[in-house]
Amino acid sequence: GAATLLHESRIPTDHFQDSLPKMPVPALSDTLSKFLYFAEPLVSDDEHLLARRGVSAFAGAEGPALQAELLASSERQYTSYISAPWFDMYLRDRAPLLLNYNPQLTFEDEAARPSQANRAARLCHAAGRFLLTLEAGVLEPDVFHTKPTVSQTPLWREAVRLMPRSVAFYGAAATGAYALDMSQYANLFRSTRLPRPELDELSTCRDSRHVVVQRGGAFWAVDLLTPAGEPVPPSQLQGAFEAILASPADARGGSAGVGHLTSLPRGEWAALREQLCAAAPANGASLKQIDEALFAVCLDGSSPEELGEVNRAMLHGRGIDRWLDKSFQLVVTENAKAAINFEHSWGDGVSVLRLANEMFDASTALPTDTPAPPAAPPRRLDFELPPPLAAAVEEAGRRFDATIAGTDLATVMTDAFTTAALKKGGVSPDGMMQMSFQLAMAKMSGRSSRRTAPMHA
């Protein structure tokens, strides 16, 4: 019913997808010129001379043939020419997800500090309503409005709704409203990154109704949607989470620390996952429940207050109650701080930030009910670990701890500059931050970072 949805957009969610303009393949000469331009501050004069010679040789040899191949590939598909290589870059990288790829977005605190279970319940309920709104095709499309007085009106929405999908983007753009690609939302829920020996796989399923809840190394499945497809009431979710929090420590069985395996280099994790599945049927069944969950919920055992402590809790925590492969994890601490930690290969921050904003608004609008017994109680997911696998889990935990111990995290807040001031000066705020981190890296180590985004939330 309509009451289960966050809203009902007059413009269908995917209304603009068929008319989004493709990113054009740049001319080979432009690509080579930009390469030399951006390489100049990163290399020595001698190295840049070698680069210029290499570019000249490439332009006169295999370059034109490869450019023609790229153009032909772009013509065959209705997507950006960099999309496939971009996914390949992320999924082929064997580096651990921990710190290298998984960022986090911390929610604002609520004025009246609720309990851990209550805030987790309301945020999960809001996420379920977001999912149903998305799947019903009535989630308002992502649109960048440069003239909101023109485009954010009922008349504009009705006019754009009536436009054919094949031209809707251009009709909206004529009024200063630019629709954004929403294909990434397909991997927001029921999605995970599966470790493979050489190239990881993004996997989604269709019909799951549960979230996987992690607490102190134990895994539980909790239904977020009813068999009829309606959101489970927040009071019942709270009852389920409170039951998990009250479970004895030995309820975690032999599964304690299995989540640490997701922080290993991808090739190592891929091999251990195969061993885990082969060790016992229960392991494969539990992994299937985790993979197919709508998302993961981490009932963190800490109570951070200082900003740096909060960042650490949301970015990595103790690792024992994390599953870094999931599309996103909702982390809620004992003192009701909350954040979304997300795996980065499937998408960027735009869709996750949209989800976070909608979840916050919807969850804070819900009353703080008393908990109620859930219609379907939490179901514990068990793992059976023979000695070699138990030893591998313990070693993964030690490596996790060593990585975190060797990582510095500091926060700086300043009024010296603002987003508005930077934009007024013609400087991209994001670009300025990225270059600041590059400069810090160069001053500290004498070399530049080769990460695409050295800054992590």
Q: What is the pLDDT of residue 445?
A: 85
- The residue written with tokens 């290298």 in the block is 100
- Is there a catalytic annotation at residue 344? yes
pLDDT at 436: 84
- Please give the structure tokens belonging to residue 94: 């064997």
Q: Write the CB contacts of 63 (distance below 8 Å, at least 6 apart in sequence).
A: 28, 32
Q: How many helices and strands, by DSSP H and E, does the chain display?
A: 16, 11
**Residue owning tokens 């605190």:** 109
- Looking at per-residue confidence, does 434 or 374 come out higher? 374
Over residues 114-158, the pLDDT tens digits come to 999 999 999 999 999 999 999 999 999 999 999 999 999 999 999
Question: H or E element: which one contains 223?
Answer: strand 218-223
Q: Which of 47-51, 364-368, 424-428, 441-445 has the highest mean pLDDT?
A: 47-51
Tell me the CA distances in angstroms from 309 to 99, 314, 337, 410, one per residue in order.
Answer: 15, 9, 11, 10
Kindly indicate the confidence band of residue 18, based on its pLDDT and cuts at 50, 70 and 90. Answer: very high
What is the pLDDT averaged over residues 370-383? 94
- Would you say 73 and 296 are in contact if contact means Cβ atoms under 8 Å apart? no
- Categorize the per-residue pLDDT at 78 as very low, low, confident or very high, splitting at 50, 70 and 90: confident
Q: Which helix (H) or strand (E) holds 149?
A: helix 148-151
- Average pLDDT for 436-449: 82
**Where do runs of H (alpha helix) occur along 108-147?**
116-135
Residues 6+ apart with CB under 8 A from 220: 212, 213, 214, 244, 378, 379, 380, 381
For residue 118, CA distances in Å to 234, 299, 317, 335 come to 8, 11, 21, 11
Residue type, 307: L
Burial class (CB in 10 A: 0-12, 13-18, 19+), 46: exposed
Structure tokens at 263: 């922080």
Classify 198 in phi/psi space as left (phi over 0), alpha (psi -120 to 50) or beta. Answer: alpha
Which phi and psi (to 5°) does residue 229 adopt?
85, 15
Helix (H, G, I), strand (E, B) or coil at 298: strand
Catalytic residue among 7, 48, 344, 456: 344
Instruction: Give the per-residue pLDDT at 220.
Output: 97
User: Phi first, then psi: what are they for 45, rounded to 5°?
Assistant: -60, -45
**119 half-sphere exposure, CB direction, 13 A CA radius:** 24
pTM of the model: 0.92
The per-residue DSSP string of 331-376 comes to EE-TT--EEEEE-STT--HHHHHHHHHHHHHHHHTS--PPP---SS
Instruction: Using DSSP, state whether 438 is helix, strand or coil.
Output: helix
Q: Which tokens hold the place of 447?
A: 């070399």
Strands 328-332 and 296-299: parallel
DSSP character for 404? H
pLDDT digit string (tens) for 265-281?
999 999 999 999 999 99
C-alpha angle 119/120/126, rounded to 5°?
Answer: 90
Q: How far apart are CA 240 and CA 244, in angstroms?
A: 6
CB distance 174 to 248 below 8 Å:
no
Sheet containing 210-215: order of strands: 104-106, 338-342, 328-332, 296-299, 210-215, 218-223, 379-381
For residue 40, give the DSSP letter: G
To the nearest 10 degrees (0 to 180), the angle between helices 349-364 and 116-135 is 120
Which amino acid type is present at position 220? W
What is the tens place of the pLDDT at every residue in 236-266? 999 999 999 999 865 444 457 899 999 999 9
Query: In this structure, are residues 188 and 342 in contact, taking their beta carbons and an 8 Å threshold?
Result: no
Buried b (16+ CB within 10 A) or exposed e, 163-190: beeeebbebbbebebbbeebebbebbbb
Q: Is the pLDDT of residue 454 over 60?
A: no
Q: How far apart are CA 404 and CA 396, in angstroms?
A: 12
- Distance CA(39)–CA(177), nearest Å, equals 35
Structure tokens at 5: 């949805």
| Cα–Cα distance for residue pair 40/287, rounded to 1 Å | 47
> pLDDT value at position 456?
39
Strands, E, within 256-319: which ranges? 296-299
- State the chain's mean pLDDT as an integer: 93
